[in-house]
Amino acid sequence: MARKTANDDPLAPVTLAVGQEDLLLDRAVQEVVAAARAADADTDVRDLTPDQLQPGTLAELTSPSLFSERKVVVVRNAQDLSADTIKDVKAYLEAPAEEITLVLLHAGAAKGKGLLDAARKVGAREVACPKMTKPADRLAFVRSEFRALGRSATPEACQALVDSIGSDLRELASAVSQLTADAEGTIDEAVVGRYYTGRAEASSFTVADRAVEGRAAEALEALRWSLATGVAPVMITSALAQGVRAIGKLSSARGGRPADLARELGMPPWKIDRVRQQMRGWTPDGVAVALRAVAEADAGVKGGGDDPEYALEKAVVAIARAARSRRG
Protein backbone atom coordinates (compact mmCIF):
# COMPACT_ATOMS: atom_id res chain seq x y z
CA MET A 1 0.00 0.00 0.00
CA ALA A 2 2.95 2.29 -0.64
CA ARG A 3 2.01 5.59 -2.25
CA LYS A 4 3.76 6.66 -5.46
CA THR A 5 4.34 9.89 -7.34
CA ALA A 6 2.91 10.62 -10.76
CA ASN A 7 6.10 9.23 -12.32
CA ASP A 8 5.21 5.59 -11.80
CA ASP A 9 7.70 3.94 -14.15
CA PRO A 10 9.73 1.45 -12.07
CA LEU A 11 12.50 1.78 -14.65
CA ALA A 12 12.87 5.52 -14.04
CA PRO A 13 16.56 6.43 -13.63
CA VAL A 14 16.12 7.05 -9.91
CA THR A 15 13.55 5.67 -7.46
CA LEU A 16 13.36 7.18 -3.99
CA ALA A 17 11.64 4.97 -1.39
CA VAL A 18 10.93 7.07 1.70
CA GLY A 19 9.83 5.80 5.08
CA GLN A 20 10.52 3.27 7.80
CA GLU A 21 8.11 0.42 6.98
CA ASP A 22 10.45 -2.42 6.07
CA LEU A 23 7.91 -4.47 4.12
CA LEU A 24 6.96 -1.52 1.91
CA LEU A 25 10.61 -0.58 1.38
CA ASP A 26 11.40 -4.15 0.32
CA ARG A 27 8.42 -4.18 -2.02
CA ALA A 28 9.58 -0.94 -3.62
CA VAL A 29 12.92 -2.60 -4.35
CA GLN A 30 11.30 -5.80 -5.60
CA GLU A 31 9.07 -3.86 -8.00
CA VAL A 32 12.06 -2.16 -9.61
CA VAL A 33 14.06 -5.39 -9.82
CA ALA A 34 11.11 -7.28 -11.32
CA ALA A 35 10.60 -4.58 -13.98
CA ALA A 36 14.30 -4.53 -14.81
CA ARG A 37 14.49 -8.31 -15.17
CA ALA A 38 11.34 -8.31 -17.28
CA ALA A 39 13.18 -5.97 -19.64
CA ASP A 40 16.46 -7.87 -19.37
CA ALA A 41 16.65 -11.24 -17.66
CA ASP A 42 20.38 -10.77 -17.09
CA THR A 43 19.98 -7.56 -15.08
CA ASP A 44 22.73 -7.18 -12.49
CA VAL A 45 21.40 -6.21 -9.06
CA ARG A 46 23.68 -4.66 -6.43
CA ASP A 47 22.09 -4.25 -2.99
CA LEU A 48 24.31 -2.12 -0.77
CA THR A 49 24.39 -0.83 2.79
CA PRO A 50 26.03 2.52 3.66
CA ASP A 51 29.27 0.89 4.76
CA GLN A 52 29.54 -0.86 1.37
CA LEU A 53 29.11 2.35 -0.62
CA GLN A 54 32.37 4.22 -0.17
CA PRO A 55 33.47 7.34 -2.08
CA GLY A 56 34.09 6.27 -5.68
CA THR A 57 32.07 3.03 -5.42
CA LEU A 58 28.99 4.44 -7.16
CA ALA A 59 31.10 5.68 -10.07
CA GLU A 60 32.58 2.21 -10.49
CA LEU A 61 29.15 0.54 -10.39
CA THR A 62 27.61 2.94 -12.90
CA SER A 63 30.50 3.22 -15.34
CA PRO A 64 29.73 2.16 -18.95
CA SER A 65 30.00 -1.56 -19.65
CA LEU A 66 31.27 -3.21 -22.80
CA PHE A 67 28.15 -5.38 -22.75
CA SER A 68 25.69 -2.50 -22.05
CA GLU A 69 24.07 -4.58 -19.35
CA ARG A 70 21.09 -3.32 -17.41
CA LYS A 71 21.83 -2.76 -13.75
CA VAL A 72 19.88 -1.95 -10.56
CA VAL A 73 21.84 -0.35 -7.73
CA VAL A 74 20.01 -0.36 -4.39
CA VAL A 75 21.28 1.84 -1.56
CA ARG A 76 19.69 1.07 1.81
CA ASN A 77 19.56 3.55 4.71
CA ALA A 78 20.79 6.30 2.41
CA GLN A 79 20.46 8.80 5.26
CA ASP A 80 23.48 7.10 6.88
CA LEU A 81 25.88 7.58 3.96
CA SER A 82 29.09 9.47 4.65
CA ALA A 83 29.35 13.11 3.56
CA ASP A 84 31.79 12.26 0.74
CA THR A 85 29.58 9.47 -0.56
CA ILE A 86 26.54 11.75 -0.48
CA LYS A 87 28.50 14.15 -2.72
CA ASP A 88 29.06 11.28 -5.16
CA VAL A 89 25.36 10.37 -5.16
CA LYS A 90 24.27 13.99 -5.67
CA ALA A 91 26.64 14.30 -8.62
CA TYR A 92 25.26 11.09 -10.12
CA LEU A 93 21.68 12.34 -9.73
CA GLU A 94 22.47 15.24 -12.05
CA ALA A 95 23.52 12.89 -14.85
CA PRO A 96 22.26 9.32 -14.31
CA ALA A 97 23.63 6.59 -16.56
CA GLU A 98 21.55 4.83 -19.18
CA GLU A 99 20.33 1.30 -18.52
CA ILE A 100 20.94 1.80 -14.78
CA THR A 101 18.27 2.29 -12.12
CA LEU A 102 19.35 3.71 -8.78
CA VAL A 103 17.08 2.94 -5.83
CA LEU A 104 17.62 5.04 -2.71
CA LEU A 105 15.96 3.89 0.51
CA HIS A 106 15.71 6.82 2.93
CA ALA A 107 14.07 6.96 6.38
CA GLY A 108 12.62 10.37 5.57
CA ALA A 109 13.74 12.12 8.77
CA ALA A 110 16.02 15.16 9.13
CA LYS A 111 19.20 13.11 8.88
CA GLY A 112 20.46 13.08 5.32
CA LYS A 113 17.72 15.49 4.22
CA GLY A 114 20.07 17.13 1.70
CA LEU A 115 20.22 13.89 -0.29
CA LEU A 116 16.45 13.53 -0.07
CA ASP A 117 15.95 17.06 -1.41
CA ALA A 118 18.48 16.53 -4.19
CA ALA A 119 16.71 13.39 -5.42
CA ARG A 120 13.36 15.15 -5.40
CA LYS A 121 14.80 18.17 -7.21
CA VAL A 122 15.85 16.05 -10.19
CA GLY A 123 12.39 14.47 -10.39
CA ALA A 124 13.11 11.05 -8.91
CA ARG A 125 10.23 8.60 -8.87
CA GLU A 126 9.11 8.53 -5.24
CA VAL A 127 7.45 5.73 -3.30
CA ALA A 128 6.13 6.58 0.17
CA CYS A 129 6.64 3.77 2.69
CA PRO A 130 5.43 5.26 6.00
CA LYS A 131 5.42 3.31 9.23
CA MET A 132 1.88 2.17 9.94
CA THR A 133 1.34 3.03 13.57
CA LYS A 134 -2.45 3.46 13.54
CA PRO A 135 -4.86 0.51 13.61
CA ALA A 136 -6.86 2.17 10.83
CA ASP A 137 -3.77 2.16 8.59
CA ARG A 138 -3.16 -1.53 9.21
CA LEU A 139 -6.81 -2.25 8.52
CA ALA A 140 -6.58 -0.40 5.21
CA PHE A 141 -3.41 -2.36 4.43
CA VAL A 142 -5.18 -5.70 4.97
CA ARG A 143 -8.05 -4.62 2.73
CA SER A 144 -5.62 -3.59 0.01
CA GLU A 145 -3.82 -6.95 0.28
CA PHE A 146 -7.06 -8.85 -0.29
CA ARG A 147 -7.93 -6.60 -3.24
CA ALA A 148 -4.47 -7.06 -4.77
CA LEU A 149 -4.99 -10.82 -4.65
CA GLY A 150 -8.43 -10.51 -6.23
CA ARG A 151 -10.33 -11.72 -3.18
CA SER A 152 -13.10 -10.24 -1.05
CA ALA A 153 -13.16 -10.19 2.74
CA THR A 154 -15.79 -8.78 5.05
CA PRO A 155 -14.94 -5.72 7.20
CA GLU A 156 -15.26 -7.92 10.28
CA ALA A 157 -12.78 -10.41 8.84
CA CYS A 158 -10.23 -7.68 8.11
CA GLN A 159 -10.60 -6.30 11.63
CA ALA A 160 -10.35 -9.78 13.13
CA LEU A 161 -7.13 -10.41 11.24
CA VAL A 162 -5.56 -7.17 12.48
CA ASP A 163 -6.67 -7.96 16.04
CA SER A 164 -5.31 -11.49 15.85
CA ILE A 165 -2.00 -10.85 14.10
CA GLY A 166 -1.02 -7.43 15.43
CA SER A 167 1.11 -4.68 13.93
CA ASP A 168 3.69 -6.65 11.93
CA LEU A 169 2.92 -5.98 8.25
CA ARG A 170 4.89 -8.99 7.08
CA GLU A 171 2.79 -11.30 9.24
CA LEU A 172 -0.42 -9.58 8.11
CA ALA A 173 0.56 -9.94 4.45
CA SER A 174 1.48 -13.58 5.00
CA ALA A 175 -1.84 -14.24 6.74
CA VAL A 176 -3.80 -12.68 3.87
CA SER A 177 -1.83 -14.79 1.39
CA GLN A 178 -2.53 -17.98 3.34
CA LEU A 179 -6.25 -17.24 3.68
CA THR A 180 -6.65 -16.49 -0.02
CA ALA A 181 -4.80 -19.66 -0.93
CA ASP A 182 -6.69 -21.96 1.43
CA ALA A 183 -10.21 -20.53 1.79
CA GLU A 184 -12.86 -20.34 -0.91
CA GLY A 185 -15.38 -17.58 -1.46
CA THR A 186 -15.67 -14.45 0.64
CA ILE A 187 -13.44 -14.56 3.71
CA ASP A 188 -15.39 -13.79 6.86
CA GLU A 189 -14.71 -13.49 10.58
CA ALA A 190 -15.29 -17.19 11.20
CA VAL A 191 -12.62 -18.17 8.67
CA VAL A 192 -10.10 -15.84 10.29
CA GLY A 193 -10.94 -17.21 13.72
CA ARG A 194 -10.57 -20.80 12.53
CA TYR A 195 -7.13 -20.17 11.06
CA TYR A 196 -5.59 -17.88 13.62
CA THR A 197 -7.01 -18.89 16.97
CA GLY A 198 -8.06 -22.51 16.51
CA ARG A 199 -11.58 -21.44 17.44
CA ALA A 200 -13.39 -18.23 16.52
CA GLU A 201 -14.29 -17.44 20.14
CA ALA A 202 -10.68 -17.74 21.20
CA SER A 203 -9.44 -14.45 19.74
CA SER A 204 -8.42 -11.28 21.49
CA PHE A 205 -11.17 -9.20 19.90
CA THR A 206 -13.82 -11.65 21.08
CA VAL A 207 -12.51 -11.39 24.66
CA ALA A 208 -12.78 -7.61 24.38
CA ASP A 209 -16.26 -7.69 22.84
CA ARG A 210 -17.67 -9.94 25.54
CA ALA A 211 -16.02 -7.88 28.29
CA VAL A 212 -17.31 -4.49 27.12
CA GLU A 213 -20.76 -6.03 26.73
CA GLY A 214 -20.71 -6.93 30.43
CA ARG A 215 -20.72 -10.69 29.75
CA ALA A 216 -18.02 -11.63 32.26
CA ALA A 217 -18.43 -15.42 32.14
CA GLU A 218 -18.25 -15.56 28.34
CA ALA A 219 -15.31 -13.14 28.31
CA LEU A 220 -13.39 -15.29 30.77
CA GLU A 221 -14.11 -18.42 28.75
CA ALA A 222 -12.89 -16.71 25.57
CA LEU A 223 -9.82 -15.47 27.45
CA ARG A 224 -8.87 -18.97 28.59
CA TRP A 225 -9.32 -20.36 25.08
CA SER A 226 -7.22 -17.51 23.67
CA LEU A 227 -4.35 -18.19 26.04
CA ALA A 228 -4.62 -21.95 25.48
CA THR A 229 -4.37 -21.52 21.69
CA GLY A 230 -1.33 -19.26 21.85
CA VAL A 231 -2.71 -15.72 21.58
CA ALA A 232 -0.12 -13.38 23.13
CA PRO A 233 -1.30 -11.69 26.36
CA VAL A 234 -0.15 -8.32 25.04
CA MET A 235 -2.53 -8.72 22.08
CA ILE A 236 -5.41 -9.26 24.49
CA THR A 237 -4.63 -6.14 26.52
CA SER A 238 -4.39 -4.22 23.24
CA ALA A 239 -7.82 -5.46 22.19
CA LEU A 240 -9.28 -4.62 25.61
CA ALA A 241 -7.83 -1.12 25.39
CA GLN A 242 -9.27 -0.61 21.90
CA GLY A 243 -12.68 -1.85 23.03
CA VAL A 244 -12.87 0.45 26.05
CA ARG A 245 -11.49 3.46 24.14
CA ALA A 246 -14.09 2.92 21.42
CA ILE A 247 -16.82 3.04 24.09
CA GLY A 248 -15.34 6.26 25.49
CA LYS A 249 -14.97 7.91 22.10
CA LEU A 250 -18.48 7.13 20.94
CA SER A 251 -20.13 8.03 24.24
CA SER A 252 -18.56 11.49 24.14
CA ALA A 253 -19.29 12.09 20.44
CA ARG A 254 -22.29 13.99 19.24
CA GLY A 255 -25.02 11.95 17.60
CA GLY A 256 -24.98 11.43 13.88
CA ARG A 257 -25.02 8.92 11.09
CA PRO A 258 -22.52 6.05 11.33
CA ALA A 259 -20.69 7.34 8.25
CA ASP A 260 -20.25 10.81 9.81
CA LEU A 261 -19.15 9.39 13.15
CA ALA A 262 -16.79 7.00 11.39
CA ARG A 263 -14.97 9.92 9.78
CA GLU A 264 -14.90 11.88 13.04
CA LEU A 265 -13.67 9.01 15.22
CA GLY A 266 -11.53 7.09 12.73
CA MET A 267 -13.63 3.91 12.89
CA PRO A 268 -15.30 1.96 10.07
CA PRO A 269 -19.10 2.49 9.96
CA TRP A 270 -19.83 -1.15 10.84
CA LYS A 271 -17.86 -0.73 14.06
CA ILE A 272 -19.88 2.36 15.01
CA ASP A 273 -23.03 0.22 14.94
CA ARG A 274 -21.39 -2.50 17.03
CA VAL A 275 -20.03 -0.08 19.65
CA ARG A 276 -23.42 1.65 19.92
CA GLN A 277 -24.91 -1.67 20.96
CA GLN A 278 -22.09 -2.36 23.42
CA MET A 279 -22.15 1.03 25.19
CA ARG A 280 -25.68 0.85 26.61
CA GLY A 281 -24.64 0.09 30.18
CA TRP A 282 -21.64 2.40 30.35
CA THR A 283 -21.08 5.62 32.27
CA PRO A 284 -18.09 8.04 32.11
CA ASP A 285 -16.95 6.75 35.50
CA GLY A 286 -17.20 3.19 34.23
CA VAL A 287 -14.95 4.05 31.26
CA ALA A 288 -12.38 5.56 33.63
CA VAL A 289 -12.43 2.45 35.84
CA ALA A 290 -12.05 0.17 32.81
CA LEU A 291 -9.13 2.16 31.41
CA ARG A 292 -7.31 1.88 34.72
CA ALA A 293 -7.95 -1.86 34.75
CA VAL A 294 -6.50 -2.18 31.24
CA ALA A 295 -3.42 -0.15 32.21
CA GLU A 296 -2.82 -2.39 35.23
CA ALA A 297 -3.23 -5.52 33.10
CA ASP A 298 -0.86 -4.15 30.47
CA ALA A 299 1.79 -3.57 33.12
CA GLY A 300 1.14 -7.05 34.51
CA VAL A 301 1.64 -8.86 31.20
CA LYS A 302 4.77 -6.85 30.38
CA GLY A 303 6.72 -7.95 33.41
CA GLY A 304 5.12 -5.88 36.15
CA GLY A 305 3.41 -8.89 37.72
CA ASP A 306 4.06 -12.56 38.44
CA ASP A 307 0.98 -13.96 36.70
CA PRO A 308 -0.08 -12.46 33.33
CA GLU A 309 -3.13 -14.74 33.18
CA TYR A 310 -4.41 -13.50 36.53
CA ALA A 311 -3.78 -9.88 35.45
CA LEU A 312 -5.92 -10.44 32.36
CA GLU A 313 -8.71 -12.19 34.27
CA LYS A 314 -8.81 -9.34 36.78
CA ALA A 315 -9.05 -6.78 33.99
CA VAL A 316 -11.79 -8.68 32.15
CA VAL A 317 -13.92 -8.88 35.30
CA ALA A 318 -13.37 -5.19 36.06
CA ILE A 319 -14.34 -4.16 32.53
CA ALA A 320 -17.45 -6.36 32.55
CA ARG A 321 -18.53 -4.80 35.86
CA ALA A 322 -17.88 -1.31 34.49
CA ALA A 323 -20.04 -2.15 31.47
CA ARG A 324 -22.99 -2.64 33.85
CA SER A 325 -22.38 0.56 35.86
CA ARG A 326 -25.43 2.36 34.44
CA ARG A 327 -27.58 -0.58 35.44
CA GLY A 328 -26.38 -0.47 38.98
pLDDT at 7: 63
Burial label for 120, CB within 10 Å (0-12, 13-18, 19+), is middle
271-314 confidence digits (pLDDT tens): 777 788 888 889 999 999 999 999 999 898 887 667 889 999 99
How far, in Å, CA of 111 to CA of 115, rounded?
A: 9
pLDDT at 206: 83
| End-to-end Cα, the chain, rounded Å | 47
pLDDT at 68: 62
Q: Return phi, psi of residue 75, to 5°.
A: -120, 110
Alpha-carbon torsion angle 55, 58, 63, 68, nearest 10:
160
pLDDT at 328: 53
Q: How many residues does the chain have?
A: 328
pLDDT at 109: 86
For the question of whether the overall pTM of this predicted structure is more than 0.75, the answer is no
Alpha helices in the chain (DSSP H): 22-39, 57-61, 83-94, 113-121, 135-148, 155-165, 169-182, 189-196, 204-212, 216-228, 233-252, 258-265, 269-278, 284-299, 308-323
Residues of the chain falling short of pLDDT 50: 6, 198-202
pLDDT at 3: 53
pLDDT at 202: 45
Say which DSSP state 65 is in: -
